[in-house]
């Protein structure tokens, strides 16, 4: 092989390598699930009886939900947020409760707490509440109903 033919062969090799796409294959960007924040209001309806104490279980039965905060309800006699287990905030289930012995306690349907939630994924959450117990200011068990209502997410 002469120097010229070796030069031409090398040039062809370089040109053929240059014809190949010099950019490496792009790594696909993983799709991230949607994420949003919202609120869920918790209610206790004690009909005509004054509500002095309540405890309920809240959980997300469908969807990926993390409870990120808890605030008090509407009644000024229940000034503090309800009691809860802080470790349960990392779960889709929590038990909350409060009590008060003030003179004029709420009766009827009362918003007792607002939960702040972080919702991941595209599945719409379904929530459930279970009233464990409700009582009057003397600590006597009363008949009541629990419910929840989802607020507007952001």
Q: Residue 6 gets which letter from DSSP?
A: H
| Residues written for the chain | 154
pLDDT at position 8 is 46
- Whether residue 45 is contained in a domain is answered as yes
Which structural domain, as residue segments, surrounds residue 141? 35-150
- Whether residue 26 is contained in a domain is answered as no
| pTM score of the predicted model | 0.76
- Whether residue 20 is contained in a domain is answered as no
| Residue 125 exposure: Cα atoms within 13 Å on the Cβ side | 28
Check which CATH number belongs to the domain holding 110 and give it: 2.60.40.680
- Whether residue 55 is contained in a domain is answered as yes
- Whether residue 82 is contained in a domain is answered as yes
Tens-binned pLDDT, residue by residue, of the chain (154 aa):
555 455 444 444 444 544 555 555 566 655 666 999 999 999 999 999 999 999 999 999 999 999 988 999 988 877 788 999 887 776 778 999 999 988 889 999 999 999 999 999 999 999 999 999 999 989 899 999 999 999 854 4
- Domain count along the chain: 1
């Amino acid at each position: 092989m002469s120097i010229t033919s070796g030069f031409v062969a090398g040039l062809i090799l370089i040109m053929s390598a240059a014809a190949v796409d010099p950019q490496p294959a792009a790594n696909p960007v993983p799709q991230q699930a949607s994420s949003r924040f919202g609120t869920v209001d918790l209610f206790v309806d004690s009909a005509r009886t004054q509500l002095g104490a309540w405890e309920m279980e809240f959980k997300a039965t469908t969807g990926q939900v993390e409870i990120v905060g808890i605030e008090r309800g509407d009644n000024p006699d229940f000034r503090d947020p309800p009691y809860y287990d802080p470790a349960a905030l990392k779960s889709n289930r929590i038990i909350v409760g409060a009590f008060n012995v003030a003179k004029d306690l709420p009766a009827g349907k009362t918003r007792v707490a607002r939960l702040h939630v972080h919702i991941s994924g595209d599945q719409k959450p379904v929530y459930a509440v279970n009233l464990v117990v409700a009582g009057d200011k003397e600590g006597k068990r009363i008949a009541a109903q629990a419910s929840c209502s989802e607020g507007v997410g952001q």
